[in-house]
Amino acid sequence: MKTRESGMPSEDLWRTFFDPDLILKRLGLKGDHQCVVDLGCGFGTFAAPAAALVDGFVYAFDIDVQMVEATQKAATTAGLKNLIVTRRDFVEQGSGLPDGSADFVMLFNILHAAEAGLLLQEAQRVLTRHGILAVIHWNHDPSTPRGPSMEIRLRPGECLRTVASAGFVTDRLLDLPPFHYGFAARKP
């Protein structure tokens, strides 16, 4: 089941909201990471640059066939052989990756989902000890050009507490201008 308010605008517009390389580096993605997971990859906005950066593999999942195709196209265009894109419902099926197999998991623009707890559990399960969970979300500001309704949009403090209560050790909050905040969290 598609999570609430997880639809996308045009790819051209979405791309203008981020500097993916900078965000990934600030959240701790490193060249020697071997297994990176993107739950709800959308257009591959972050999965493709992550695959270009790491030595290992990036596993990107989305329920929406158009998003899967867009991410696959981004991989092909950039000649990325290490980006594995799968159509999958992570609410119903998780990622299917083995326990303790991932160094870095991305939950980007998705934690307003009613199933946020399930997503965090799946991140806990697949991460290695000391693996990084990276989170970004829309600022709690009604003037952002996109983003979930204010009633379900997590304030930064609330987001940090939600991730901490799922068993992660959260790092400091980062401002990711123009429209986002984010943080890294570690599996203890």
Ligand X SMILES: C[S@@+](CC[C@H](N)C(=O)[O-])C[C@H]1O[C@@H](n2cnc3c(N)ncnc32)[C@H](O)[C@@H]1O
Residue ranges binding ligand X (CB under 6 A):
1-3, 6, 8, 40-42, 45-46, 61-64, 67, 89-91, 108-110
The least CB distance from residue 6 to ligand X, in Å, is 4
In residues, how long is the chain? 188
The least CB distance from residue 13 to ligand X, in Å, is 12
The least CB distance from residue 130 to ligand X, in Å, is 23
For ligand X, the closer CB: 70 or 188: 70
| Distance separating alpha carbons of residues 117 and 168, to the nearest angstrom | 12
For ligand X, the closer CB: 22 or 130: 22
Secondary structure of 36-97 as H, E, C letters: EEEECCCCCCCHHHHHHHCCCEEEEEECCHHHHHHHHHHHHHCCCCCEEEEECCHHHHCCCC
Burial of residue 16 (CB within 10 Å: 0-12, 13-18, 19+) is: exposed
For ligand X, the closer CB: 42 or 131: 42
For ligand X, the closer CB: 74 or 127: 74
Contact 168, 187 (CB under 8 A): yes
Nearest-10 Cα torsion for 183, 137, 92, 86: -80
For ligand X, the closer CB: 33 or 137: 137
The least CB distance from residue 17 to ligand X, in Å, is 8
The least CB distance from residue 153 to ligand X, in Å, is 12
Q: Which two tokens stand for residue 113?
A: 């989902």
